[in-house]
Amino acid sequence: MPRGSRANGDPGLKLTTMYIEQLYTNCLAEAAYYIESEGEAAIIDPIRETEPYIALAQKRKASIRYVFETHFHADFISGHIDLAKKVNAPIIYGPQAHTGYEVYNAADGEEFPLGKLTLRVLHTPGHTPESSCFLLLDENRKPHAIFTGDTLFVGDVGRPDLLDGVMSREELASMLYDSLNNKIKTLPDATIVYPAHGPGSACGKNIGKETFSTIGDQKKFNYALQDVSREQFIAQVTEGILPPPAYFFEDARINKQGYAPVENVLAGSKRALSADQFKAAIKRGAVVLDTRKADDFEKGFIRGAVNIGLNGQYAIWVATLLSMKHPLVLVTDPGTEHESILRLARVGYENVVGYLEGGINGWDEPLDTVRSISAEQLKGEIKRETTILDVRKPGEWNTSHLKDARFLPLAEFPKNLNTLDKSKPYIVHCGGGYRSMTAISMMKREGFLDLTNVYGGFTAMVNAGLPMETQAVAV
């Protein structure tokens, strides 16, 4: 199982003819699935490294017969090509999936036997035209579970705006309306829903905290599965969608056209660099990415470094904030070099020059630092002419925020930092401290000088009794 992942035991079933395991990768908020019956296994939506799936099949003395893909993923590089080659299994998409490599395009309703089970393809366009779900029928051919990809999440549905002008989001939302009403809502209420993403993914607007559900519960609680007109549905699912991260379009292209084996990427990137070699790479234009925890970063870091820690949604934030065009040099905690590079490869970042040998202790020049204060200390700071900068997400801000704070979501930093005044002091906070350190590191890189971080972020500020208000922003 990959680091940063877990097997979700709650929905997992180990019956005489059925075994299902959800392999959840936290830093991508992504769920892949292993389904097995009578020694035959199928994998749905694997992430880029293949070892977890092959190892699980070997452990259970099963052979992987199929590799299923629900659609062209935009937020990570799938492992379908490498996995299919290694286990000699076909890659199966639904209709309308045109690729640069060999796949089997199943027809709507086509079925695939798996031991005593059956997987039925349900073409469910809307998130993308080729999006399909896979309905698992038990040995009595009764619906047991549906693997929904990005068509249906817990509490949400896939965003319909990722074709970048090829189709309008209203056209895709109309297709999604038909898919949900004609293919999804007609299933028995007890059918388990296994989506491709959980909370934190930008593939939906506001995905719920659970990583699985049932059709019945979703019909009760998911706003997008209520009985409304087509026009009402289109308005609901297109309202308040934040712009997709730029890397989405590149990842979708890679998944559609193909990619190099991840082993090749790792071999080319995992290079220890001396301080002099590291400096030379910076002079050639490489961006310094520091993957240590915020509490360690603030105590000393290379000037110009961007801090995105491995202890959070590292891959998502790197892909959101840093251009794939720029080469990267890494500062890591010793022993985490491989993980830092692998998790970048998962989202399509393959231009890593190397990492600083010995970690931050391998640097031979003065280090920069960040000033941090507690929420209690912030009470005194508010009195001086300082802007409190809230870098959380719009939904968090709209729920509650510090009175008189300024709002600039971290995801919008690359294009909107120029709206801030570099000559003024800023106190920066997020929800708990992870994103605020990333924000401060980016601001320092752009020449901001007077910056302060708040330990514990918004949670600590609420606990300290700081004045809050609710004033929604348009998204």
pLDDT tens string 283-312: 999 999 999 999 999 999 999 999 999 999
Q: Is the pLDDT of residue 14 over 60?
A: no
For the chain, percent of residues with pLDDT exceeding 70: 96
The predicted-structure confidence for 131-188, as pLDDT tens digits, reads as follows 999 999 999 999 999 999 999 999 999 999 988 778 999 999 999 999 999 999 999 9
Check residue 186 and give left, alpha or beta (phi > 0: left; psi -120 to 50: alpha).
Answer: alpha
Distance CA 79, CA 389 (A): 39
Which one-letter DSSP state was computed for residue 358?
A: T
* Cα–Cα dist 284/41, whole Å: 47
User: Domains plus CATH for the chain?
Assistant: 5-251 (3.60.15.10), 260-362 (3.40.250.10), 371-469 (3.40.250.10)
Query: What are 105's two structure tokens?
Result: 């395009």
Q: What is the pLDDT of residue 16?
A: 58
Helices (H), 298-347: 314-321, 337-345
Annotate 176-212 with three-state secondary structure: HHHHHHHHHCCCCCCCEEEECECCCCCCCCCCCCCCC
pLDDT at 205: 87
pLDDT digits (tens, 9 = 90+) for 203-226: 998 899 999 999 999 999 999 999
Least trusted range by pLDDT, from 29-38, 46-55, 244-253: 244-253
- Using alpha carbons, select from 319, 335, 308 the residue that is nearest to residue 440: 308
CB 451 within 8 A of CB 385: no
Mention every residue, 6+ apart, whose C-beta is less than 8 A from residue 273. 281, 329, 353, 354, 355, 356, 357
From the number of C-beta atoms within 10 Å of its C-beta (0-12, 13-18, 19+), residue 379 rates as: middle
Distance CA 191, CA 214 (A): 5
What DSSP character marks residue 224? Answer: G
Report pLDDT for 5.
Answer: 37
Contact assessment for residue 158 and residue 127, using Cβ atoms and an 8 Å cutoff: yes
Q: What is the pLDDT of residue 243?
A: 84
Which residue did the predictor score with more confidence, 221 or 382? 221
Q: What tens digit of pLDDT does each residue of 74-100 get? A: 999 999 999 999 999 999 999 999 999
Number of other CB atoms surrounding residue 9 within 10 Å = 9
CA end-to-end span of the chain, whole Å?
Answer: 37
pLDDT digits (tens, 9 = 90+) for 319-353: 999 999 899 999 999 999 999 999 999 999 999 99
> What is the Cα–Cα distance from 105 to 96, expressed in whole angstroms?
8
